[in-house]
Structures are given as C-alpha cells and as structure tokens.
Chains A and B, each alone.
Chain A
C-alpha cells in the first residue's frame, strides 16, 4: 500500500530565508511524487511532480523538490521565501501500478516579514 508522511505540522521561516518542507513516502513500485498548495477556502493547486529523470525538479512560484530514493524522501524547497508563500502544502504519491493519488496530512508554512 502506498503512503506519504509529512512530519512537520508547521514550518516557520523569515522572509528571504530558504525554506524546506519535508516529505517521506512508501510505495511498492516506482513512485510518482507531487507537491500541491492550498490557500484558504480554495482547492489544491499543483506545484510540481517527479516521475523519472533528474532528482531535482523545478515547479511553480520558484519552488523545487529533491527526490532521494535511498531515503524515500521528496522535500520541497525554495531558496528565498516570500510572505505570499504562506499556505498549506501537501505532498502526494502514486504507485506506478495504481491510478489513485494519496496525500499527506499537510504542513502549514508561515513566512514572517
């Protein structure tokens, strides 16, 4: 069975500093990995995905994520945080043999001016 874990309920970062939001996963086959962002009273918006290839993937709004197969991790990163990055971030995974996408519990990112 596939699963995904986000160990931090909240991450607090000062504007201009780098940020990292952690994610680990478990699948039986090859992982398809995703990050989504949710703003208040809105649905989820796609940020980026890893299917295959380069371990560092770039996405929307300056975000990037690093796939680490040995650590089964897919951490979200940004070199310089903006106040507008404050939102709820979800990591998600799909097993290559299944079609359903499973989401983590979410990490609330708070960027202080």
Chain B
C-alpha cells in the first residue's frame, strides 16, 4: 500500500520562474492538503483540495494555485517565484475534507536562487 508520494524531491529555480509540484495521495484517500515549511518553522497551510475543488485556503497570495485530478492526485503551482518561497513543500492526504488524520509525503525541497 503506497503512502503519499511527492515529486520531485528537490528542485532549484531562479526568481521569477514558475514551478509545479506533484502529489499522489495514499490509496483510499480523496483529499489533499498542501503545506509550506520554512527552515526551523512549522508547516503553514496553503490550501486543501477535495472533489477537484479548492475547499480551504490559508494566507498565501494568488501566485500559489493548485489542481486536483479525478484520480485524486494534486499539483501545486507557484508563479513568479521569490527568494522567500524557498522551503519544504509538504503534501498531506486524508479521507474526506474533514479527515482526522493526515498522512504526509516526504516533501519537495524548493530552492529559489
């Protein structure tokens, strides 16, 4: 039973570029939440997707957008990258939007130069 998988594991971009991160949820899960974890900080909630729609959003600008596909996999897109976007991006899956237990992937480490 595969857990949550994220790709790529590491990514280096330059300021102003665009990036797409991908996530496949744990088998049987239908909800994906994205978090940004800066070095030495706790994960910050970006948004949550359920039934292919954005259900909840944290305090992130519109440069951060996402998508969920019919197979429940999800993408996180960040446009016009800033140095401050450098962080570990974590994907978490759960069963239903109010799922009580999140399963996390190992994350994508994004470095913006």
Contact = CB atoms under 8 A, between A and B. Distances in A.
A101 interface: yes
B100 A90 contact: no
Given A100-B58, A103-B35, A43 B106 contact: yes
A43 B56 contact: no
Interface core residue of A43, A90, A99, A105 (most chain B CB under 10 Å): A43
B42 A46 contact: no
Interface residues of A, number: 23
B101 A49 contact: yes
Contacts of B98: 94, 99
A90 B56 CA distance: 21
Contacts of A98: 56
B87 interface: no
Contacts of A41: 106
Given A43-B4, A43-B107, A44-B90, A101 B102 contact: yes
Interface of B: 4, 31, 33, 35, 41-45, 48, 50, 55-56, 58, 90, 92, 97-107
Interface of A: 6, 32, 34, 36, 41-46, 49, 51, 90, 94, 98-106
